Amino acid sequence: FVGAILVCVCVSAVSLAQLEILCKQLYETTETGVRLQAEKALVEFTNSPDCLSKCQLLLERGSSSYSQLLAATCLSKLVSRTSNPLPLEQRIDIRNYVLNYLATRPKLAEFVTQALIQLYSRITKLGWFDCQKDDYVFRNVIADVTRFLQDSVEHCIIGVTILSQLTNEINQADTSHPLTKHRKIASSFRDSSLFDIFTLSCNLLKQVSILAFWVIFLAEPYFSDPTSCASTSAAVLVFQSLSDPNNYHEFCRLLARLKSNYQLGELVKVENYPEVIRLIANFTVTSLQHWEFAPNSVHYLLSLWQRLAASVPYVKATEPHLLETYTPEVTKAYITSRLESVCIILRDGLEDPLDDAGLVQQQLDQLSTIGRCEYEKTCALLVQLFDQSAQTYQELLQSTNSSTIDITVQEGRLTWLVYIIGAVIGGRVSFASTDEQDAMDGELVCRVLQLMNLTDSRLAQAGNERLELAMLSFFEQFRKIYIGDQVQKSSKVSTFTVTTHTLLCFRPETITNLKYWGQCEPITSKTLQLLNDLSIGYPLPSVRKLVKLSAVQFMLNNHTSEHFSFLGVNNQSNLSDMRCRTTFYTALGRLLMVDLGEDEDQFEQFMLPLTAAFEAVAQMFSTNTFNEQEAKRTLVGLVRDLRGIAFAFNAKTSFMMLFDWIYPAYMPILQRAIELWYHVPACTTPVLKLMAELVHNRSQRLQFDHTFTNSPSLSCLHPSLQDYPKLSQSFYSLLEVLTQDHMNFIASLEPHVVMYILSSISEGLTALDTMVCTGCCSSLDHIVTYLFKQLSRSTKKRPAAMATDDRFLLIMQQHPEMIQQMLSTVLNIIIFEDCRNQWSMSRPLLGLILLNEKYFADLRNSIVNSQPPEKQQAMHLCFENLMEGIERNLLTKNRDRFTQNLSVFRREVNDSMKNSSYGVNSNDMMS
């Protein structure tokens, strides 16, 4: 027995080692073949019968985090499967095991901890309604988490993460389980547990730290609503900041110093609020000044002060909140620390945060609110720092012995300042600005414009990409705040806006950027996006002024690769690099439309470069050998340009100019390109997107004029008519109205017209569209009723006014097969098909029978004789019952009786034919 155990252990050890090797290959190897083989082997592992036991073995004895991740993932799949689910006892054991595993191993890799918490959340959700001895065993969430919250910091983080992940899991539906079950679980969780989790979280915040105490007790008196969740939101941010190890350890050191002078209870007293906020401000300023030691803490600190600054306009309490004192210090600490970091980063070769656009934008969004609090101090600081850096920069450029390092340092400082100026201008939206603050914005704007002129003058020799991106960010912020329909007309800056709008955004910088930075994708794309945003047309007078500028006219008349290198095709290494061209031509298209009107000559002049590109592609396709890469790039660039124009041309007049230009002249070229490169998505996708844009009825630009009756667009054969549902519905609706109220007019038409109408109705009886079929039944009923009435008067003398009716009757006598065919069709549908409009079919059928009694008798006999001998009598009786009590007239009472008989007839015929091995072929009845 002992030997058998040792063998099992050895085998498990071998399989465990193999699994760990496979996990390492899956997550770490760069060789595709090895990774695919590892993935295949692990898929087989997850589907193996002993997967559950092996997962536990991996968790207990696995030496790598990847094997632990594999085990957690496999267990999640096992508990989530809908077919052959795990027993309740087994799921309870897995839940308890996961909790104990997390409790005893609080320092697992983050992704392993996350996967295990996900597993716990999934088990809890799916087992929410499972009972064991009248106990909902998976609802003890608070008890499960409490033991984590009463332990170390690592355990507290795990506990809070469990609450957060469980709430997200309950709230998120999945495709593998019914939506109704998800809703029931979410509703039950909300009613039974969500409030307790919220209460637990709030209590936890009060116990986490002195900083959380400060947020909760200090912020609450300054909100008009005591139940406002703003203080709680701020506390959440504080707790998040403490989850960062750098922040937590730094705060612990601060807390140690505080404990030497104060007791915890003393610090939370109202009279000590000024001291607490002073300490917090000092902590923030110190952290910002020493950014190199805790760079990740900047986000959390700025988040806290952003919330505090944003609450200032809503403060109604009389007690001083002191933010007007300490917020400028935080703003100054951030700005000066960013400027001082430039030299340190260059000196020590550190990673430059300016290269992380997302990080920079995130911090600037937070600073925009903080800097607007006590904006006079912020503006004065920025003016002072900007003037110093700009003057030093200009002196360095004018000096002949300036070092490159010194110039780069000043360019870095100016880059940060331009970013920050744009951010604080964008923060205007968070506060009610005054004319004085708008004037301060103007002071900052003027300084950026002066710097722009300086940098443009030396672009031919050298340029700084980061500084250019900062200026584009500044322009975008300025555009959002001061250019558009949201700008108040009473604002003093509105006059400033109108006069500087064109200088800011459609200055030579636009052309300069596209000329000198055409190979720099970030600058090109941001410049084009700015150009596109400004071309939308708000306010319209400003756009009209823009169009008249020489810079804009230059772009409209010279949009070629000679002047804008990103439009070239020879320097494109990847077809996807030309996506910015669509944005460019969208903007140009909008600007062109301002004064285009119906001027086809101006349109043709604008399209000359694109015409030349189409001709070049056509010339390539006409030869047997051509440069395929050049042809692809030319075509892809061309269709991207055209899609931008088509998107911008949302008026009917301009769009029809473009459509007439491209169709039919250049459509064969696009078709040829699809035929050649159908297997190249980089070529086919832009062409298909262009076609999708051309057929998009944007702003109702595809409205067509009404056609006349003599237009050949109205000449349509019956098969084609059925292919156009809207046309067929309108056509048969017209016939229904004509046959109902204008039979005398129809009777006077030429024979071929009458035959066309009758054949159209005959075709429509078999249409799949129920609306069309029902309309044809109604039209046929009107015609049959009219014929029956006319024939009923045949023995009477008719007035001269009815002489035209003889033509219609004559046509029917010459072509009896038409009415007979429709009788056969209707009867065939009722007997052999799934008749969805039986009532509508019954109304013309009686008239058809009365007009063709002999033919109906032949049809009846044919149907009866086609049945098995033992069923012929039953079928004959069905037809007898159909006409039982039916008189030879088309009065409403007689029609209703026939409709009732028909319903019984159809049911009895179907019952009679159910067990029949053969019957009438529907095609035979139609012949």
| pLDDT surpasses 80 at 647 | yes
Instruction: Tell me the β-bridge partners of 567.
Output: none
Phi, psi dihedral angles at 156 (to 5 degrees): -60, -40
Only one residue has tokens 């730094």, namely 250
Higher pLDDT, 216 or 328: 328
Tokens found for residue 345: 């980063």
Phi, psi dihedral angles at 136 (to 5 degrees): -75, 95
User: SS3 for 586-600, per residue?
Assistant: HHHHHHHHHHHCCCH
| pLDDT surpasses 80 at 622 | yes
CA 403 centroid distance within chain: 50
Residue 918 pLDDT: 44
Residues 6+ apart with CB under 8 A from 54: 15, 16, 19, 45, 48, 71
Averaged pLDDT, 581-596: 88
pLDDT-wise least confident of 106-120, 196-210, 232-246, 354-368:
232-246
Residue 1 pLDDT: 26
Print burial letters for 297-312: b (CB count within 10 Å at least 16), e (below 16).
bbbbbbbbbbbbbbbb
| pLDDT surpasses 90 at 691 | yes
Residue 149 pLDDT: 80
Task: Report d(CA 468, CA 463) in Å as an integer.
Answer: 8
Print burial letters for 353-379: b (CB count within 10 Å at least 16), e (below 16).
bbeeeeebeebbebbbbbbbbbbebbb
Residue 627 pLDDT: 85
| pTM summary value | 0.51
Tell me if 570 sits within 8 A of 630, measured CB to CB. Answer: yes
Tell me the torsion sign for CA atoms 218, 223, 224, 225.
negative
Higher pLDDT, 494 or 666: 666
Averaged pLDDT, 489-493: 47
Averaged pLDDT, 159-178: 82
| pLDDT surpasses 70 at 615 | yes
pLDDT bin (cut points 50, 70, 90) of residue 800 is very low
Per residue in 94-127, pLDDT tens? 889 889 988 888 888 888 888 899 899 889 988 8
Residue 572 pLDDT: 52
* C-alpha pair distances (Å), 289 with each of 255, 332, 506, 645: 19, 10, 39, 50
Short-list 470, 452, 449, CA closest to 360? 470
Largest CA distance in the chain: 125
Tokens found for residue 199: 């209460």
Averaged pLDDT, 602-616: 91
Residue 46 pLDDT: 67
Averaged pLDDT, 218-241: 38
Higher pLDDT, 750 or 217: 750
pLDDT bin (cut points 50, 70, 90) of residue 345 is confident
Task: Report d(CA 418, CA 470) in Å as an integer.
Answer: 6
Residue 781 pLDDT: 92
Averaged pLDDT, 426-441: 80
Tell me if 437 sits within 8 A of 428, measured CB to CB. Answer: yes
DSSP single-letter state for residue 346: H
* C-alpha pair distances (Å), 777 with each of 719, 725, 781, 901: 19, 17, 6, 18
Segment (H or E) for 875: helix 869-882
DSSP single-letter state for residue 174: -
Tell me if 431 sits within 8 A of 372, measured CB to CB. Answer: yes
Higher pLDDT, 725 or 794: 725
Residue 145 pLDDT: 87
pLDDT bin (cut points 50, 70, 90) of residue 806 is low
Residue 671 pLDDT: 92
Phi, psi dihedral angles at 836 (to 5 degrees): -90, -10
Instruction: Tell me the β-bridge partners of 643.
Output: none
User: SS3 for 770-811, per residue?
Assistant: HHHHHHHHHHHHHHHHHHHHHHHCCCCCCCHHHCCHHHHHHH
CA 548 centroid distance within chain: 37
pLDDT bin (cut points 50, 70, 90) of residue 518 is low
pLDDT-wise least confident of 154-158, 223-227, 863-867:
223-227
Higher pLDDT, 529 or 839: 839
Higher pLDDT, 507 or 258: 507
Query: What percent of the chain is modeled with pLDDT above 70?
Result: 77
Residue 487 pLDDT: 52
DSSP single-letter state for residue 131: B
Residue 792: CA atoms inside 13 Å, Cβ hemisphere, count?
12
User: SS3 for 607-655, per residue?
Assistant: CHHHHHHHHHHHHHHCCCCCCHHHHHHHHHHHHHHHHHHHHHCCCHHHH
* C-alpha pair distances (Å), 447 with each of 98, 383, 474, 522: 60, 8, 12, 24
The DSSP result for 186-231, as a single string, is HHHHIIIIIHHHHHHHHHHHHHH-HHHHHHHHHHGGGSSSTT-SHH
Residue 336 pLDDT: 93
Higher pLDDT, 851 or 718: 851
> Where are the chain's structural domains?
48-210, 241-373, 566-702, 725-794+804-913
Residues 6+ apart with CB under 8 A from 745: 738
Task: Report d(CA 772, CA 725) in Å as an integer.
Answer: 9
The DSSP result for 262-293, as a single string, is --HHHHTSGGGHHHHHHHHHHHHHHHHHTTTT
Residue 687 pLDDT: 93
Tell me if 452 sits within 8 A of 471, measured CB to CB. Answer: yes
Task: Report d(CA 635, CA 642) in Å as an integer.
Answer: 10
Residue 834 pLDDT: 78
Top mean pLDDT of 268-282, 646-660, 908-922 is at 646-660
Tell me if 42 sits within 8 A of 26, measured CB to CB. Answer: yes
Tell me if 906 sits within 8 A of 835, measured CB to CB. Answer: yes
Residue 373 pLDDT: 85
Residue 597 pLDDT: 81
Mean pLDDT score of the chain, rounded to an integer?
77
pLDDT-wise least confident of 81-85, 126-130, 295-299, 880-884:
295-299
Averaged pLDDT, 901-927: 66
Instruction: Tell me the β-bridge partners of 131.
Output: 136
Residues 6+ apart with CB under 8 A from 47: none
Residue 609 pLDDT: 92
Q: Tell the burial category of 534 from Cβ atoms under 10 Å away from its Cβ (0-12, 13-18, 19+).
A: buried
CA 536 centroid distance within chain: 22
Residue 512 pLDDT: 67
Q: Tell the burial category of 832 from Cβ atoms under 10 Å away from its Cβ (0-12, 13-18, 19+).
A: middle
Query: What percent of the chain is modeled with pLDDT above 90?
Result: 11
Task: Report d(CA 861, CA 925) in Å as an integer.
Answer: 12
| pLDDT surpasses 60 at 628 | yes
Only one residue has tokens 């008009």, namely 224
Per residue in 354-378, pLDDT tens? 888 888 888 899 898 898 888 899 9
Reduced to 3 states, what is the DSSP secondary structure of residue 136?
Answer: strand
pLDDT bin (cut points 50, 70, 90) of residue 413 is very high
Tell me if 618 sits within 8 A of 678, measured CB to CB. Answer: no
Averaged pLDDT, 294-305: 77
pLDDT bin (cut points 50, 70, 90) of residue 643 is very high
Top mean pLDDT of 143-147, 445-449, 466-470, 686-690 is at 686-690
pLDDT bin (cut points 50, 70, 90) of residue 215 is very low
Task: Report d(CA 496, CA 278) in Å as an integer.
Answer: 40
